[in-house]
Amino acid sequence: RAENAIGTTEHSLQLNVTTAPTLKAQLKDLEIVRGQDATFTIDVQGYPIPEIKWMRGNETLIELSDKYTWADDQHRQLIIHNVQVEDEDEYNVRIHNEFGEVTSKAKLSCLIPPSISPATIDDTLLQHGDEIEYQFEIEGRPQVDVTWLKNGKELKLNENPNYIFTSDKENNKESFKIIKADGDDQARYTLQIKNKAGKAEVNINTIVKANLQFTKTLSDVATQVGQPVAFSCECFGLPKPTLITWYFNDIEIKSSAKYKIESKYPLINLTINKTDLIDIGKYRVVITNGEQTIENQANLLVQTKPKLEGKPQDAQPIIEESARIQCKFSGSQPFNVTWLKNGEVLTLPNDNIEVISEADTGIQALVFKHVDIDDKASYTVQVANMVGQAEGKMNLTPKEIKPTIITDLEGRTVQKGEPCELTIIAEGKPQPQCKWTFNNQDLTLIPGEIESIIDENDKRIYHLRIHSTQPKHIGEYSCTLSNGGGSVKS
């Protein structure tokens, strides 16, 4: 510009500073959700204005209306439309003019938000013991993290042996199996998957049903007066029981100082703290779960234990005569009675022994029709009812009576060849055994020649019969009669 007093004049010109291309910042890697657009941007300086060339790998990109576009004529922005997995690659930019060249590169990654198929599951109704498996197809990029939850709390894969979790990463499948459905398996299960692109989940509501039933029923109970007693049962059902009611002879029982009602599923208890005779009767429990009702009952018997009254008396009957041994017991009837002989159970009744059991008096007795030496023993009677037992012991000692001679032997004179019979009459209990001697030597009895005979009609009469008397039979004959009580000789 020039000026003087007369005026001014000026002239403009352009000064261009030539430089090689420069980038203020390198390209940055991009992670784009599938279906969205990706934009690579550069801020370049240089003169003359550099030429910009975009490449995918080693392939130069050209503008395509549906895939690649540039934001301006200078191509400072590359827009990749509708990014898909197949668009993942390394993208390069080459910037150059006559004074130099600069390049930059970055990676494009396609993200896929997690998704689950099926996306919803209808509520599942299972019966107790059923098996069920849920299968899902999942998608997500990068690979998703899989979590299973039960009622909002994370499930460890090996925590419950009733659950089997299967993960097929290669085919993008997840499954969950309940091997044997139980009440604890009724829950809301959640399959949750997530990656950096997002999160997805699907809920499974599982309902487990089972018929309400008793797994252990009430049992009849017998107890002593004043003792506590408990009725116990166990039940199973799904839903679990919600109401439990006890009845005594059809009158509802409430918890009190006398009655204690406990319910800790599946166990149900009723305790009567102190029993009395007025508690005898029928006890019933009614259980409901809102869908079904079941009931069970049992009887309570309150008794007094058997007790031996007095001291049993031993018996010393005469052998072969009748005898009776007995004990008296008090306590609640009926009694279960067992007799023992020398500690061994006696099979009764039999042909010789009659059993007597008097319910009104409590007397328990054995009556022997004929006492034998084999009946000598210690006898025990055991009496039991549902709350206890007692016993009494007695000794039976039969007395033996020493033989007594009623009619002695008498000497005889007979003709040769005639029969001869020597007779002695004696009694004793038990019946004496007879032994004959001849001339102070044991007599050898020979059937058909010389025989010892007991009279069939009168067992007191003993005979020595010689069928044909010979001179060799001449001599002195003696008879010895003996039993456990002693012996006599004639």
**The last residue of a domain, from among 210, 227, 247:** 210
11 located within any domain: no
Instruction: Verify that 72 and 32 share a domain, yes or no.
Output: yes
Q: In this structure, is residue 251 part of a structural domain?
A: yes
**Both 258 and 290 in a single domain?**
yes
Count up the domains in the chain and report the number.
5
At 315-363, the pLDDT tens digits run: 999 988 999 999 999 998 899 999 999 999 999 989 999 999 999 999 9
By residue range, what is the domain housing residue 41?
Answer: 19-112
**pTM here?**
0.55
C-beta atoms surrounding 242 within 10 Å: 10
- Among 65, 88, 112, the domain-final residue is 112
The CATH number for 173's domain is 2.60.40.10
The span from the CA of 211 to the CA of 236, in Å, is 8
Residue 441 within a domain: yes
| Domain match, 313 and 290 both | no
Residue with tokens 């149900």: 268
Residue 5 lies in a domain: no
Cis preceding linkage at 239, omega within 30: yes
pLDDT tens per residue across span 123-181: 999 999 999 999 999 999 999 999 999 999 999 888 899 999 999 999 999 999 999 99
Q: Is residue 41 part of a domain?
A: yes
Rounded distance, CA 402 to CA 487, Å?
Answer: 6
Residues 311, 296, single domain; the answer is no
Does 187 share its domain with 203? yes
Residue 196 sits in the same domain as residue 224: no
Nearest 10 degrees: CA dihedral of 151, 155, 158, 159?
-60
* In a shared domain, residues 103 and 123: no
**Up-side HSE of residue 264: CA atoms within 13 Å toward CB?**
1
Residue type, 438: F
Q: Are residues 67 and 55 in the same domain?
A: yes
Together in a domain, 443 and 429: yes
Q: Does residue 13 fall inside a structural domain? A: no
Instruction: Give the whole-angstrom CA distance, residue 464 versus residue 476.
Output: 13
* Full pLDDT tens readout for the chain, 490 residues: 888 889 898 888 877 788 999 999 999 999 999 999 999 999 999 999 899 999 998 899 887 668 999 887 778 899 999 999 999 999 999 999 999 999 999 999 999 999 999 999 999 999 999 999 999 999 999 999 999 999 999 998 888 999 999 999 999 999 999 999 998 999 999 999 999 999 999 999 999 999 999 999 999 998 999 999 999 999 999 999 999 999 999 999 999 999 999 999 999 999 999 999 899 999 999 999 999 999 999 999 999 899 999 999 999 999 889 999 999 999 988 999 999 999 999 999 899 999 999 999 999 999 999 998 889 999 999 999 988 999 999 999 999 889 999 999 999 999 999 999 999 999 988 889 999 999 999 999 999 999 999 998 999 999 999 999 999 999 999 999 998 889 999 9
The verdict on residue 483 lying in a domain is yes
Please enumerate, as own/partner, the contacts of 98-102 that have beta carbons within 8 Å and a separation of 24 or more.
98/48, 99/18, 99/19, 99/20, 99/21, 99/46, 99/47, 99/48, 100/20, 100/21, 100/46, 101/20, 101/21, 102/20, 102/21, 102/22, 102/23, 102/44
Q: Is the residue at 299 inside a domain?
A: yes
Residue ending a domain, choose from 58, 81, 112: 112
